[in-house]
Every structure is written in C-alpha cells, then in structure tokens.
Copies of this chain bind each other. A is one copy, B any other.
Amino acid sequence: MDKMYKENNLSKNQQIIFDLIDKSSEPLKAYTILFSVQKKGIKAPPQVYRALDKLVETGKIHKIESKNAFVACRNSNCEISKATAFSICESCEMVDEINDDKLTKYLTNFSDKKGTKYKRFNLEFFGLCKKCK
C-alpha cells in the first residue's frame, strides 16, 4: 500500500474502533463493536481485542470492568490510565468518567496500613444518574 494511514498515532483498525467508541454515548462491548465494524473489514474477535488492548494501553479508552465494556477517555488520557474513576448508573447503564483533581490526588497518594503505595487504581461508583433520579 502506498498510503500511510497514520497521520496520528493510531493504526487503521485502532482508529476505526476508537472512532466508534468515541462517538458512542454509552459503553460498548467487544462483540457489539465487532458487529459494527464488519462492514469496514474487521471480521474476527482478535482484531477487535487487539485494538482494544492497545487503546487501553495508551489511555485512549478505558475498560469498565464491572460491565466488560469500553468508553473513550474524556480526560487527558488519564496519564496513561493510572488513575481512573467512573460513575455508573444502575438504571440506564450510563457511564461518566469522573475528573476530580482532589479525588485523584487523594487516591494517588493513598498508602495502606503497611505504608504501601500503589501505582494504579480504578474506581467505579454506582448509583442513579441525574436523568434516572
């Protein structure tokens, strides 16, 4: 191929999948993504999971662990995802990334009773969103 697809830092599949997640208003699951991108030539699970892995690794997206689903990062890629926090609505399933400097600072500096500090955390809050309350 004579055309480079990398004006930015994402490969073709990564860009397709990132775009889909980025414009979605809700967390997307791997197989939902797979079905959505088949028309673009991405036909098999490993293609999706590889792109997801790389996007998570570079902080472009986050995995919502309690939902096995993915959202685009709405912060500054969360310093490569070392400090993530989300609010999750238990009624409509909406997920919002929380960007709260005080919270981030508190948790980043947290050390347990043995004085151990951690290099990464993920926090998920559950409740009702504004719409569902």
Which A residues are within 8 Å of any B CB, using their own CB? 65-66, 87, 96, 98, 100, 103, 106-107, 110, 112-114, 116-127, 129-130
Q: Which of B106, B120, B127 contacts A119 (CB 8 A)?
A: B127
The 6 A-B residue pairs with the shortest CB-CB distance in the complex, in nearest-first order: A118-B127, A65-B65, A118-B125, A120-B126, A123-B123, A121-B125
- Check B119–A126 contact: CB distance below 8 A: yes
Cα distance, A125 to B126, chains bound together (Å)? 18
A125 proximity list for chain B (CB < 8 A): 110, 112, 118, 120-121
| Copies of this protein chain in the complex | 2
A96 proximity list for chain B (CB < 8 A): 112
- Check B113–A100 contact: CB distance below 8 A: yes
- Check B106–A130 contact: CB distance below 8 A: no
A130 proximity list for chain B (CB < 8 A): 114, 116
- Check A122–B124 contact: CB distance below 8 A: yes
